[in-house]
């Protein structure tokens, strides 16, 4: 079979800046060949069984030469593999993608170019510096500060680059910064021209150094500013104070431990990236089938016998519809049975399957679910509570005490994840988040002395039930969300962390 190579620009670091086309290519690849600048969140978009080959190159260190990388992707394509060659930034902006494309064409291997967002534009934007701004410039240039050493001498036209009416951007320039500054000054660029260097642009580790052409080299030496960085020279740098946004948030630069199951962490981790925080994926639990699957199958088979079906999580919704699908049935199985959902995420999971919720409490806890159901049911009514095997007894106890029949059926079970690196991840984090009592127990299973391990860290819980589980274990809880959802947890963190 003929193989194909996608040359994909990964963007500058924030995984949210990857293009949809790039994400689609990653999802379908057999082999991923990726650079140092490609973020882990983007690398993780490749299928779990895809072969992943790191070919990162940094100043002073590289795994493979460019010639070896090019030969590798050509050979993989000849073997019939679907290959993604993932490059930081854009494929063709000082990334040697042109050489790779030509080699693939010469070898008869099909390829496709998927452009990426270059750090030359993205890094300044994340620092609050517009690449163009009316009144400051009518053009901009992007140059490399690390030219091909085989040329012998620079071919950069510093006379044109020194034009004070344009914005000048240099990539890979930290090693030659002093020489670049000298050349610009020799060719007439004013010494008071503003300069900004944006390090690790678009990432939670982003730093911005602002100086002038006369002072920037000394400031770099004083602060030990290092690559990877983008150098921006021009009056547009003056706008940073009025447009600065990414590095101003309360969570910027914070490392946030995400303990919820990996399959459910996507929205939360995306929000962390948007707010400038670094999410540390550390699932404390996994979602598995319940100990007794027959009870769930039987309940789904006789769903029309119930007056109400209650779902307490999106996991329960998925489990229910998996059982329906196994039996060759669909949403029509519910008939006129009424549906309750504990919160908006559960309600959304039902809505995507064509079900409108009849009841959702204002407060997303079992007590509120029980009170609402008692108002809406009569003595003798049958209620199916389809939920986690480890759920609390608040709802079934309240219903049974009031003369309702409640079948409390385990839809799934939560099991602690055994992760030998868990303690290291906890140690790296500034903030630890818990989204259920199960995530608390899962962390304790991996870090028995969590009380000590979490000391000095900000601990945030999605609601009072989760907070109670943490406190029962001796963990100090600093933040409890008022709205018991992932979005509520994000808002609570923003409010709690001083800017």
Question: What are 316-357's pLDDT values in tens digits?
Answer: 999 999 999 999 999 999 999 999 998 888 999 999 999 999
Name all contacts of 465-470 with Cβ < 8 Å and 24+ positions apart.
465/365, 465/366, 465/392, 465/437, 466/434, 466/435, 466/436, 466/437, 466/439, 466/440, 467/434, 468/437, 469/434, 469/437, 469/440, 469/441, 470/434, 470/440
DSSP 8-state secondary structure symbol assigned to residue 172: S
Residue 62 has pLDDT above 70, yes or no: no
Distances (CA, A) of 58 to 66, 81, 111: 12, 27, 26
SS3 content of the chain, % helix, strand, coil (to 5): 40, 20, 40
Give the model confidence (pLDDT) of 219-248 as tens digits: 999 999 999 999 999 999 999 999 999 999
- Distance from the Cα of residue 252 to its chain's centroid: 14
Mean pLDDT of 128-155: 84
At residue 148 the predicted structure's pLDDT band, cuts being 50, 70 and 90, is low
Exposure string over 488-498, b if 16+ CB within 10 A, otherwise e:
bbbebbeebbe
Write down the pTM of the prediction.
Answer: 0.80
Q: Is the pLDDT of residue 89 over 90?
A: yes
Q: Matching CATH topology for 255-284+417-496 and 288-415? A: yes
Q: In whole angstroms, how large is the CA radius of gyration of the chain?
A: 28
Quote the DSSP letter at residue 263: G
Does residue 147 have a pLDDT over 80? Answer: no
- Please say if the pLDDT value at position 150 is more than 60: no
Q: Is 241 a catalytic residue?
A: no
pLDDT confidence tier of residue 496, bands split at 50, 70 and 90: confident
H/E stretch holding 371 reads helix 366-376
- Residue 187's pLDDT is 95
288-415 CATH fold: Rossmann fold (3.40.50)
57 is a catalytic site residue: yes
| Average pLDDT, integer, range 39-50 | 90
Residue whose C-alpha is closest to residue 309's, from 348, 364, 353, 350: 350
Does position 61 have pLDDT exceeding 80, yes or no? no
419 included as an active-site residue: no
CA distance linking residue 342 with residue 82, whole number of Å = 43
DSSP-derived letter for residue 45 is T
Whether the pLDDT of residue 59 is over 90: the answer is: no
Span 255-284+417-496: which CATH code? 3.40.50.10090
- 394-440: pLDDT as tens digits: 899 999 999 999 999 999 998 999 999 999 999 999 999 999 899 99
Query: Is the Cβ–Cβ distance between 258 and 268 less than 8 Å?
Result: yes
Question: What pLDDT, in 10s, does the model give residues 427-458?
Answer: 999 999 999 899 999 999 999 999 999 999 99
Strand segments (E) across 399-456? 405-416, 431-434
Label residue 149 by pLDDT band (50, 70, 90).
low
Q: Are strands 285-288 and 405-416 parallel, antiparallel or unpaired?
A: antiparallel
Question: Whole-angstrom Cα distance, residue 18 to residue 356?
Answer: 34
- DSSP for 335-357 reads TT-EEEESSHHHHHHHHTTT---
Establish how many alpha carbons lie within 13 A of residue 469's alpha carbon, considering only the half-sphere containing its beta carbon.
Answer: 20
Architecture of the structural domain at 4-117: 3-Layer(aba) Sandwich (3.40)
- Choose, from 30, 87, 172, 272, the residue flagged as catalytic: 172
Please state the domain extents for the chain: 4-117, 121-247, 255-284+417-496, 288-415
- The closest of 248, 267, 260, 203 to 490, measured between CA atoms, is 267
Please tell me the distance from the alpha carbon of residue 368 to that of residue 342, in angstroms, as a whole number.
9
Of the candidates 447, 465, 241, the one whose C-alpha atom is nearest the C-alpha of residue 365 is: 465
Question: Is the Cβ–Cβ distance between 341 and 350 less than 8 Å?
Answer: yes
Per-residue pLDDT, 151: 58
Largest CA distance in the chain: 91
Q: Classify domain 121-247 at the CATH topology level.
A: 3.30.950
> Do residues 211 and 219 lie in contact, with contact meaning Cβ atoms separated by under 8 Å?
yes
Residue 145: CA count within 13 A, CB half-sphere:
24
Q: Give the span between the Cα atoms of 37 and 379, in whole angstroms.
A: 63
d(CA 191, CA 187): 11
Q: Give me the pLDDT at residue 2, please.
A: 79
Asked if 430 and 256 touch (Cβ cutoff 8 Å), the reply is yes
* Mean of all residue pLDDT scores within the chain: 92
**Catalytic one of 14, 30, 35, 381:** 35
Q: How many CB atoms lie within 10 A of CB 245?
A: 12
Given a cut of 70, whether residue 173 has pLDDT beyond it is: yes
The closest of 2, 3, 1, 5 to 100, measured between CA atoms, is 5
Confidence of residue 90 (pLDDT cuts 50, 70, 90): very high
Count Cα atoms within 13 angstroms, Cβ side, for 50: 25
Which is catalytic among the residues 57, 78, 238, 348? 57
Among residues 439, 390, 392, 422, the alpha carbon closest in space to that of 285 is found at 439
Reported as a pLDDT band with limits 50, 70 and 90, residue 152 is low
pLDDT of residue 110: 96
Which has more pLDDT, 18 or 95? 18
Query: How far is residue 263's CA from residue 269's CA, in Å, rounded to a whole number?
Result: 11
């Amino acid at each position: 079979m003929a193989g194909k190579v996608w040359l994909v620009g990964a963007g500058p670091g924030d995984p949210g800046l990857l293009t949809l086309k790039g994400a689609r290519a990653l999802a379908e690849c057999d082999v991923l060949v990726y650079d140092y600048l490609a973020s882990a969140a983007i690398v993780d978009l490749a299928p779990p069984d895809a072969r992943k080959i790191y070919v990162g190159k940094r100043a002073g260190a590289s795994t493979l030469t460019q010639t070896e990388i090019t030969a590798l992707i050509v050979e993989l394509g000849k073997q019939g593999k679907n290959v993604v060659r993932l490059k930081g930034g854009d494929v063709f902006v000082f990334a040697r993608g042109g050489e790779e494309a030509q080699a693939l064409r010469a070898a008869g291997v099909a390829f496709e170019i998927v452009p990426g967002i270059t750090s030359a534009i993205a890094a300044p934007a994340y620092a609050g510096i517009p690449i163009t701004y009316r009144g400051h410039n009518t053009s901009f240039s992007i140059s490399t500060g690390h030219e091909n050493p085989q040329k012998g001498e620079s071919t950069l036209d510093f006379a044109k680059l020194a034009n004070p009416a344009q914005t000048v951007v240099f990539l890979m320039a930290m090693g030659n910064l002093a020489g670049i500054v000298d050349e610009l000054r020799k060719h007439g660029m004013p010494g008071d021209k503003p300069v900004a260097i944006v390090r690790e642009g678009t990432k939670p580790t982003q730093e911005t150094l602002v100086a002038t052409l006369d002072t920037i080299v000394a400031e770099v030496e004083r602060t030990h500013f290092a690559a990877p960085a983008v150098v921006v020279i021009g009056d547009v740098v003056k706008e940073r104070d009025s447009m600065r946004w990414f590095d101003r948030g309360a969570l910027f630069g914070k490392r946030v431990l995400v303990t919820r199951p990996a399959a459910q962490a996507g929205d939360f981790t995306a929000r962390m990236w948007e707010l400038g925080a670094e999410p540390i994926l550390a699932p404390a639990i996994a979602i598995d089938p319940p100990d007794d699957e027959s009870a769930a199958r039987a309940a789904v088979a006789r769903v029309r016998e119930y007056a109400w079906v209650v779902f307490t999580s999106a996991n329960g919704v998925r489990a229910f519809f998996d059982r329906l699908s196994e039996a060759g049935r669909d949403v029509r199985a519910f008939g006129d049975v009424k549906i309750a959902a504990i919160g908006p995420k559960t309600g959304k999971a039902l809505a995507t399957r064509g079900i409108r919720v009849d009841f959702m409490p204002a407060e997303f806890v079992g007590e509120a679910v029980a009170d609402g159901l008692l108002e809406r049911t009569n003595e003798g009514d049958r209620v199916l509570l389809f939920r986690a095997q480890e759920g609390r007894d608040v709802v079934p106890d309240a219903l049974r005490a009031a003369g309702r029949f409640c079948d409390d059926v385990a839809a799934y079970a939560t099991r602690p994840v055994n992760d030998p690196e868990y303690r290291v991840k906890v140690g790296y984090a500034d903030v630890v988040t818990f989204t259920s009592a199960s995530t608390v127990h899962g962390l304790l299973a991996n870090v028995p002395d969590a009380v000590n391990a979490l000391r000095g860290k900000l601990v945030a819980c999605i609601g009072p039930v989760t907070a109670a589980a943490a406190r029962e274990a001796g963990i100090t809880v600093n933040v409890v969300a008022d709205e018991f959802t992932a979005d509520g947890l994000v808002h609570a963190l923003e409010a709690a962390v001083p800017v």
